[in-house]
Structure 1
Amino acid sequence: MDVDVAPKPAEPLLQLRGISKHFTGVQALDRIDLGVRAGELHVLFGENGAGKSTLINVVSGTFPPDEGSFHFEGEEIRHLTPQRARAIGISPVFQEFSLVPSLTVEENLFLGREITTGGVLRAREMRKRAQALIDELGFDLDPSRRVDDLSRAHQQMAEIAKALLGKVRLLILDEPTASLTERETGRLFELIARLKSRGVGLIYVSHRMREIRTLADRVTVLRDGRHVRTLDAASSTDGELVELMTGRKIDLLYPTITHKPGKVIVDVENLTLADGSVRDVNFYGRAGEITGIAGLVGCGKSELIRAIYGIEPATSGAIRIDGAPYEFPAARRSLKRGIAYFPANRTAEGLALSRPIRENASMTVLDLPAFARFGVLRQAAERAKIGGIMAQLQLRPPNIERAAGALSGGNRQKVMLARALTRELTVFLFDEPSVGIDVGAKLEVYEFMKSLVEAGAAVIVVSSELPEALALSNRLYVMHHGRIVAELTGADRTEQNVLSSFFRDHLTAEVA
C-alpha cells in the first residue's frame, strides 16, 4: 500500500542553536536559537539590552560566540569573520554607520573590493556600477559626493547600497528607516519585496510596530539575552509582542499629560538659516506645554531647534528666551540660559562613548561650584549626584563607571536625560527622542517629558513619528521644505490634517 509522505521542510538558510556570548560582567546572549528561511523577513524584537545587537554582530562575524552552533546554507561555520561573512553572502547594515567620512560614496562602496587591472584602479567601471546600483535602489544619492557632506538620511542610503553591492544571501537591517523619508522608506520596502522574491533571507531589527506589521513573516522576541518566543507575524497582536518583550502588560504607549500653557519662553521670529534649511520661520514654545514639530526627514525641523540651541548658524531673524533677545546662540551660553538640547544622533553628537557614564552625565555642569571649584573636579560630589540621578532613571545595570559605548540605545538616552537633572533648566529641546529605543524605554522617556511639563518647563519635541508628535504635543507645528505650513491645536491635531498640510504645500509649489 502506498503511503503519502509529507515533504521534508526546507532547511533554514541560517540556523543558530544554543548561541551564548558573555562580556565582562554581562551575559549578553544565553543559549539563543534562531532560524531564518530563504525568502523570509524575520524580525528581532526586544528591549534595548535584550541582546539583539549582540546577536546580529555574531551573525555578521564581528563577535565570536562563546558556545553554540552556527549553520549557514547547511554548512557549519566556525571562526566567522566580517570578511568571510560577506564572502558567503551575509551582509549587515548597522545602526552605527561603517562609512569612511573622507571618502566618496563610490569609494566607500568598493572599499576592500576595488576593481583593478594590473594594479590600476578601474575608476570608470566602479562609478558606473555604483550609479547602476543606486538607480536600481531608487535612491537620490550622488556616488561622487563625500560621505561627510551627506545628510544622515543619505548616509543611510549609502550603507544600504554598500550592503547590496556584492552577492547577498542574508541581509541584516538594523533600524534602517530611522533616517529615511516616507518616499525613501517606500523604496526600501519595495526593494525588500524584490529580495524576498529572489530567495534572500532578511533579519530586520525594528521597534516600529507598523513596519513589523507591513514586512514581517516571523518575529523572534528576545528578553534579557534569552529567546522568549518565535511567532508568525500574521497571527500575533501588538499587545502580545509588547508583553512578551517587556514581561508586563502595557495598556497605553503614551501617558496622559496635563498641559497648563503659561508664558512664552521660546520665541522665534522670521528665522532663516545659512544653509537654507529653515526659511522665515515664526514659532513659539510656552511654559507648561509640549510644543511638537512634525515633518518628513529633511524638512528643517531638526535644524530649527539646533539653531535655537546655537549649533546651526542663522543669517536673519530673532530668537528670544523668556522675553529677552538671545543673540549669537552657542551651546555653553544656552545651558547658562536654561536651555537643554538632546540630539537625535546620540553616538556622534551626544556622548563620549569611551568615557564613563558618570563623566557623560556630568559634562554639562562642570562650570557649577557644586561639581568643580578653582578648576578642580569634586569627584565625590560628582559620583554621588550622578549615581542618584541614574538610579532615579533606572539605568540597567546601575554601574556609572561603565563606558557609555557599552550601553544599549535606551540606556544611552537615559545618560543624555540625566544631564537635564543636574542643573536648573527651563527649556528642553528633544530631537527625535525615541529613535533607536524600544517600547519600554520610550515609555520612560515620555514619562520624563510629562514630569518636566507638569513642573512648568517648556518642552519642544521634533519627531518624524507622526503618532508620537500628535500624542505628546499640546500644539503641533508642521514643517515642509524649511517653512512652517500649519499650526494645529485641539481637535485639529489629526494625522489627516498633518498629511494634508504636506500635500497642500506641495501642490501650491507645483502651481507656482
Structure 2
Amino acid sequence: MSKLIETRGLTKQYPGVLALDHVDFDLEPGEVHVLFGENGAGKSTLISMLAGANTPSEGTIHLDGEKVAFDSVGQAQAKGIYTVFQEFSLIPTLTVAQNIFLGWELRRGPFLDHRAMRKRARGMLEELGFDIDPSAIVAHLSRAQQQMVEITKAFHGDLKVLILDEPTASLTDREVDHLFDFVASLKARGVGIVYISHRIQEFARIAERVTVLRDGAVIGTVAMSDTNDDALIEMMTGRSFDQIYPAIARTEGEEILKVSGLTAPGIKAASFNVRRGEVLGVAGLVGSGKSRLFRAVMGLTPVLSGTVSFQGTDITGSATRDIIMGGMYYLSPDRKAEGLDLAKTARDNLSVNIVAGARNTGGSPFIRWRGVNTRTDEISDHVELHPGYRNKPVSQLSGGNQQKVLFGKCFGQEADLIIFDEPTVGVDMGTRAALYLLIKQLAEAGKAIVVISSDLPEAMNISHRLLVLAHGRISAELSGDDMTEDQVLKYFFDETGATQ
C-alpha cells in the first residue's frame, strides 16, 4: 500500500539538545498510527514538523510519494495535513461559524456574508455528526464541542492527514465514544490519522499501529494486534508494567477522617473513613460523583446533611482555608485552572504553600525567606524537578513537570491527609512511576492518602482499599482479593451494593 506520509531520517537539533534523532515514520491511508512516548520523547517535535509549525535540521518528509517542505502551518494545510493541538487555535469571542471560516471568509461583494457562513458551517457540522449551533460563541462551548469545531476547520480543503494531539485528555467517556466513532468514519474515507495519547487503554479500540519514541529516537513500530499494554509500557520506559506501580506497605494507623451520611450536590448519604498509613482509592465513571464527594469534604461545595470529622474534630461546613490549615490538602485535577499559578515560576508556586503553612517564621511575624528558599529546594529535589526548571514560569514546563510542582505543594503544607484528584492526568508512564513513588513515601511515612482516579488500573494498583461510586452513591467498598477489574466494573453501574 502507498504511504500517505513517510519521513526519512527526520532530525531536529537545538543548541545542546537533540530533540529528534533520525526518525523514520510512515502513515497509510485509512489507518490510525499512534505515537507513544514519555514527555520529551520527541512526539510533539515530530508532529510539529508534519504540521508545518517547525522545520527539520536533517531528513525529509514525503507526502503521497513526493518530497515536501513546509514553512508554515498554512502550507501543510494546503496539502491536506491538519493538526488539532492540545491548545486549540480558536478565538473564544467569535462564533462557531466565524472560527470555522477564519481565513476562508465568504463574501458578498466587499462585505462578509455571515448568513452564508452560518449556513455552510451548519452543513459541515451536520455532515460530521456534530450537534453544535454555528451561531454559538466558542467561549460558551464545552471542551469537547470546541474540539469538534477545531476538527471541522480541517474540512475546507482535501483532508488527507489528521493529527490529533491528546484529543481525549479532557473528555467524558461519552464524548470519547463520539470522537472514536468520528475517527472510524474518517478511516472509512481513507484519511490517515496520527494519534498521540498517554491513555494506553485507548489504543486497542482505534489503532492499527503504534510507534514508540524514547529520547527523540524510534524504539520500534508494532502492529496493535501483535502487542499489549505491558509490552508497550516496557518499550516506552525500559521498565516492566509491574515496576510502574510500587508495593506500598500498609500500617493500620488511627482513623483520621470519618464521613457519615454526607449529602451534597450530586452526592447521596456517603459514609466512609480513612486511616493513617493507607491509600484509599476512589473509582467511578465520569459523572459518578467521586470528585464532588471530596470537594464537599474540603468545603469547596456545600454539605446539605451529614457530618465530616477530621482528627476527632467536626469540620462540617468549615471554610476550605481552615480545613487546609488544619492538615488536610486537596490537589485539583485541573492544575491549570485551580492548582498552579501559570504565570509564576515553579519556585514561587512551591513557596506559597510553605509561607501559608506558617512553619517558616520561627515565632516571628516576618517571613524568613532564606528558610523558605531552602525548603523550596528540598521539595524540588524530592519531587525530582530539574534545577533548570525551577525559575521558569510554570506555563513553560511540560505537563509532567507541572504535575511535579503540584505534588510538591502538598509537601510545603505538611498535611496529614492528602487527596489526589486525578493525580496523573496528561502525564506519561515514566512520570507516573515517579509520582507513585512519592505517594508510596507519603503513605509509608504515616500520611493518609486518597487517590481519586478515572484510570481503573491506577486506582486498583495504587490502593489498599477502593471506594466505587455510581450515580452519586458509594456502591461498594473493596479490598484484597475483591479488588478485581470485573468486580469493580460491576459496581460502576450498580448503586445497590454499598457496604455502608
Tell whether the structures are fold-level matches, with TM greater than 0.5. Answer: yes
Question: Is 2:326 the partner of 1:337?
Answer: yes
Selected match of 2:50 from 47, 50, 59: 59
Q: Distance in 2 between matches of 1:57 and 1:328?
A: 49
Question: 1:319 Cα shift?
Answer: 3.0
Matched residues in 1 for 2:97 and 2:19: separation? 36
Partner Cα distance (1:155, 1:454) in 2: 43
Conservation of the 8 A alpha-carbon contact between 1:339 and 1:425:
yes
Distance, in Å, in 1 between the alignment partners of 2:179 and 2:446 is: 42
Q: Distance in 1 between matches of 2:141 and 2:40?
A: 30
Q: Which amino acid aligns with 1:320?
A: S
Q: Counterpart in 2 of 1:81?
A: 72
Q: Which residue of 2 aligns with 1:394?
A: 384
Label 1:335 to 1:116 Cα distance change in 2 as closer, same or farther (>3 A).
Answer: farther
Q: Shift of the alpha carbon at 1:44? A: 0.9
- Paired with 2:90 and 2:320, the residues of 1 have a C-alpha distance of 28
Q: State the Cα deviation string for residues 428-464 of structure 1 (Å, max 9, x = none).
A: 1111112211222212222221222222222111111
Q: Deviations over 1:240-283 (max 9, x none)?
A: 4333322344544322222334333233344444xx43344334
Task: Kindly state the Cα deviation for residue 83 of structure 1 after the two structures are TM-superposed.
Answer: 3.3
Corresponding residue of 1:509: none
Distance of 1:308 and 1:395 partners within structure 2: 30
Q: Displacement, 1:67?
A: 4.0
Deviates more, 1:392-401 or 1:335-344: 392-401
Matched, 1:232 2:223: yes
User: Contact conserved, 1:171 with 1:203, CA < 8 A, in 2?
Assistant: yes
Deviations 1:105-161 (A, max 9, x none): 555555554555442312651563365156x25x7x666665555555555555555
Where does residue 465 of structure 1 map in the other structure? Answer: 455
Q: Tell me, yes or no, if the aligned pair for 1:390 and 1:398 is still in contact at 8 Å.
A: no
Q: Shift of the alpha carbon at 1:369?
A: 5.3
Counterpart amino acid of residue 52 in structure 1:
K
Residue 90 in structure 1 maps to residue 81 in structure 2:
yes
CA distance in 2, matches of 1:407, 1:121: 40
1:361 to 350, 366, 371: 350
Which of 318, 336, 353 is 1:347 aligned to?
336
* 1:131-210 equivalence runs, <5 A: 132-133=126-127, 136=129, 152=143, 156=147, 159-160=150-151, 167-210=158-201
**Segment of structure 1 superposing worse, 146-155 or 458-467:** 146-155
- Match status 1:301 vs 2:294: no
Cα distance 1:344–1:101, how it changes in 2: closer, same or farther (>3 A)?
farther
Name the stretch that deviates more: 173-182 or 107-116. Answer: 107-116
* CA contact 1:365–1:371 (8 Å) conserved in 2: no
Counterparts of 1:207-222 in structure 2, within 5 Å, are 207-222=198-213
Shift of 1:426: 0.9
Letter in 2 for 1:281: A
Q: Matched residues in 2 for 1:347 and 1:499: separation?
A: 30
Aligned residue for 1:21, secondary structure, equals: strand
Q: Could you tell me how far apart the structure 2 residues matched to 1:110 and 1:339 are?
A: 49
Q: Percent identity?
A: 43
Partner of 1:3: none
Partner of 1:6: none
Residue number among 310, 317, 320 corresponding to 2:309 in the alignment = 320
Question: Which amino acid in structure 2 is aligned with residue 231 of structure 1?
Answer: V
User: Cα distance, 1:100 vs. partner?
Assistant: 4.4
For 1:351-430, what aligned pairs fall within 5 Å after superposition?
351-367=340-356, 368=358, 370=360, 378=369, 380-396=370-386, 399-430=389-420
Quick one: which amino acid aligns to residue 410 of structure 2? Answer: A
Opposite residue 290 of structure 2, the aligned amino acid is: K
C-alpha change, 1:103 and 1:224, in structure 2 (3 Å) is: same
Distance between the aligned counterparts of 1:299 and 1:115, measured in 2?
Answer: 45
The SS at the match of 1:267 is strand
Structure-2 separation of matches of 1:350 and 1:167: 41
How far apart are 1:200 and its partner, in Å?
Answer: 0.9
CA apart distance, 1:332: 3.5
Query: How far apart, CA to CA, are the structure 2 residues paired with 1:359 and 1:261?
Result: 36
Matched, 1:34 2:25: yes
- List per-residue Cα deviations over 1:192-227 (Å, max 9, x = no partner): 222122111111112333322333222222112223
Is 1:391–1:398's contact at 8 Å kept on the other side of the alignment? Answer: no
Which shows bigger deviation, 54-63 or 443-452? 54-63
Question: 2:246 matched to 1:290?
Answer: no
Distance 1:320 1:208 in 2: 36
1:487 corresponds to which of 465, 472, 477: 477
Task: Provide TM-score, normalisation by structure 2.
Answer: 0.85
Give the AA of the match of 2:80: G
Instruction: Return closer, same or farther for 1:369/1:443 CA change in 2, 3 Å cut-off.
Output: closer
Cα drift, residue 425 of structure 1: 0.8
**C-alpha contact (below 8 Å) 1:91/1:164 kept by paired residues:** no
- The root-mean-square deviation of aligned C-alpha atoms, in Å, is 3.3
After superposition, residues 103-142 of structure 1 pair within 5 angstroms as 108-117=99-108, 118-122=111-115, 124-125=118-119, 128-129=122-123, 132-133=126-127, 136=129
TM-score by length of 1: 0.84
Rounded Cα–Cα distance in structure 2 between residues aligned with 1:348 and 1:457: 26
1:437 partner SS: coil
Q: Which runs of 5+ in 1 are unaligned?
A: 1-8, 507-512
